[in-house]
């Protein structure tokens, strides 16, 4: 089986298993998702969703958050970990949105990458979830599962995994495919426990199944 054939089966089966996949960060506006994806680094989406309620209530827009003292932002987001650096990046990002983009999140990948604290993963998430464009979000679930399944061969660098997946995943499937990898990584192909290969819809095409069966 080629990697393209394997990828096609993964898409088909994960789509059947998780038909209504969505981003698990709660947001109403694009700028809020920018804030949340920065806070989600080394933090669970569930905790981020709780923490931002206070943040967005106090600062309900880009301009308000851009004008906030980073120390005040840090006091709110500290439960997400790395509070100082995250608050600094959020403040700088919102100020750049205000000053250079008219307080609007740009619908351009390179422009998104120019924002403080925004890397390829975050930019892809915004392009896919907000603007409905093809996107490959190489988060920890994506990287772990793609290596286990065999879609990539011992590749851990996010940018290299992303590049490999662009060759395997049709653009129209890319965004939802990555969300479904998150769903599957949380429910079945877990990181902190032995994967539940006995109930995995990909078990017969997964390279790592034999390893975990031993």
Contact 116, 89 (CB under 8 A): yes
Please indicate whether residue 15 is annotated as part of the active site: no
Question: Can you tell me the distance from the alpha carbon of 127 to that of 109, in angstroms, rounded to the nearest whole number?
Answer: 7
Other C-beta atoms closer than 10 Å to the C-beta of 191 total: 11
Sequence-distant (6+) residues with CB within 8 A of 207 are: 148, 149, 150
Exactly one of 86, 121, 129, 176 is catalytic; which is it? Answer: 121
Burial of 78 (0-12, 13-18, 19+ CB in 10 A): middle
Which runs of consecutive H residues, i.e. helices, occur in the chain? 3-17, 30-39, 45-58, 62-67, 70-77, 83-100, 109-113, 120-125, 140-149, 158-166, 171-187, 209-213
How many Cα atoms within 13 Å fall on the side-chain side of residue 103?
Answer: 9
Residue 86 corresponds to which tokens in the numbers above? 């995250």
Set 86, 89, 129, 139: catalytic member: 139
- Catalytic site residue 139? yes
Residues serving a catalytic function are 121, 139
């Amino acid at each position: 089986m080629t990697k393209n054939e394997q990828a096609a089966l993964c898409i088909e089966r994960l789509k059947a298993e998780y038909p209504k996949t969505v981003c698990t960060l709660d947001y109403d506006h694009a700028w809020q998702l920018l804030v949340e994806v920065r806070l989600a680094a080394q933090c669970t989406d569930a905790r981020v969703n709780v923490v931002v309620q206070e943040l967005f209530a106090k600062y309900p827009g880009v301009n308000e958050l851009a004008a906030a003292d980073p120390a005040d932002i840090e006091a709110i987001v500290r439960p997400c970990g790395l509070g100082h650096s995250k608050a600094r990046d959020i403040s700088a990002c919102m100020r750049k949105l205000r000053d250079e983009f008219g307080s609007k999140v740009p619908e351009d990948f390179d422009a998104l990458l120019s924002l403080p604290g925004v890397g390829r993963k975050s930019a892809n998430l915004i392009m896919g979830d907000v603007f409905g464009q093809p996107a490959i979000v190489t988060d920890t679930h994506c990287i772990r599962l793609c290596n286990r399944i065999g879609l990539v061969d011992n590749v851990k660098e996010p940018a290299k995994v992303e590049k490999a997946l662009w060759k395997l995943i049709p653009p129209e499937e890319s965004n939802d495919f990555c969300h479904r990898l998150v769903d599957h990584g949380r429910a079945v192909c877990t990181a902190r426990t032995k994967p539940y290969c006995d109930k995995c819809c990909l078990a017969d095409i997964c390279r790592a199944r034999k390893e975990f069966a031993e």
